Amino acid sequence: MLKNCVFSHFPIEMGKTRQTPREPIVLASGSQRRIDYFRLLGLPFSCVSPEVDEIVCENAGPQATAEELALKKVRKVVEITINHDDDRLWVCGADTLIAMNGKIFGKPKNRDDARNMLRLFSGNTHEVITAVALYSGRTQKSDCRSVVSTISFAPISDGEIEWYLDSGEWQDAAGSYKIQGLASCFVSKISGSYSSIVGLPLREFYVMLRDNGYPYGG
């Protein structure tokens, strides 16, 4: 029985060259961006949004923190899955963090908090870390990898910040902005993986699937 979770199922869209049905993956996330990427990859999947304690070791850096949170999501889903010992079980969890000068910026508490974050990012460069964890029922182990990208913001005026805040896009967004939305107007440079910044590093996730024996790709 699934507790404290949102469960959804999405239809499998098989391309013309995809003849063999693949093993379904449980995506431990309700993120629309990650859902869209799973659909893009043509993966059969269902979604479970686990409630996890996001408290981690205070001395852990941003990258270690993102990896621990991704693993927590996977462990929670495996724990509440009835057939958790099924060797066909696959679970994927991910977590995206924003950091600058070693400080982690989560989701804003309110508009004032969002305004302060955007002022800090204005004219500066910060990191976006996305960690991906993949559990295989065959090995009963989780593989976890992370990608660090950087984003440079052009100087943003107070008027531009208020314009952005009025859009409401900052709500429920780590770092108070969404790169795939209006915030792209402020970005002067990106180094690294754009898909990772959005929420799922496609290249690294593809390699993880391949390395862990998931029947995908060539």
Given 53, 85, 95, 172, the catalytic residue: 95
Q: Burial, 175: exposed, middle or buried (Cβ in 10 Å; 0-12, 13-18, 19+)?
A: buried
DSSP symbols for 138-169: TTTEEEEEEEEEEEEEPP--HHHHHHHHHHTT
Q: Identify whether 143 is a catalytic site residue.
A: no
CB half-sphere exposure, 40, CA atoms < 13 A: 13
The single residue listed with the structure tokens 């993956």 is 25
Question: What gap in Å lies between CA 206 and CA 178, rounded to an integer?
Answer: 24
Integer distance in angstroms from the first to the last C-alpha of the chain? 36
In 19-157, alpha helices (H): 32-40, 62-80, 111-121
Say what the alpha-carbon torsion angle 121, 122, 125, 127 is, to the nearest 10 degrees.
20
Q: Answer positive or negative: Cα dihedral of 80, 83, 85, 88.
A: negative
Tokens of residue 51, six digits: 């409630």
Catalytic (active-site) positions: 95
